[in-house]
Amino acid sequence: MSDTLMATYKRLPVSFQRGEGAWLWDDNGKRYLDALSGIAVCGLGHAHPAVKEALCRQSGELIHTSNLYNITLQEQLSEKLMALSGMERAFFANSGAEANEAAIKIARLHGHNRGIENPAIIVMENSFHGRTLATLSATGNRKAQAGFEPLVQGFIRAPYNDIESIRVIAENNSSVVAVLVEPIQGEGGINIPADNYLNQLRELCDTNGWLLMLDEIQTGMGRSGRAFAHQYNGILPDVMSLAKGLANGVPIGACLARGAAAETFAPGNHGSTFGGNPLACAAALAVIDTIEQEQLTERAEALGAKLLTDFADGLSGVDGIEEIRGLGLLIGIELDRPCGELVGQALEQGLLINVAAENTIRLLPPLTLSDSEATQLVEILTALIKSFID
| Residues with active-site annotation | 128, 215, 244
CA–CA distance, 329 with 305 (Å, rounded to integer): 8
Describe the crossing of helices 296-314 and 278-293 by its angle, rounded to 10 degrees.
Answer: 70
Sequence-distant (≥ 6) Cβ neighbours of residue 59 within 8 angstroms:
279
In total, the chain counts a number of residues equal to: 390
Q: How far apart are the first and last CA of the chain?
A: 33
Q: Is residue 342 within 8 Å of residue 388, measured between CB atoms?
A: yes
Are the CB atoms for 389 and 42 separated by under 8 Å?
A: no
- Return phi, psi of residue 202, to 5°: -60, -45
Helix or strand run (H / E) with residue 23:
strand 23-26
Angstrom CA distances, 229 to 52, 107, 140, 234, 375, stand at 27, 22, 20, 10, 25
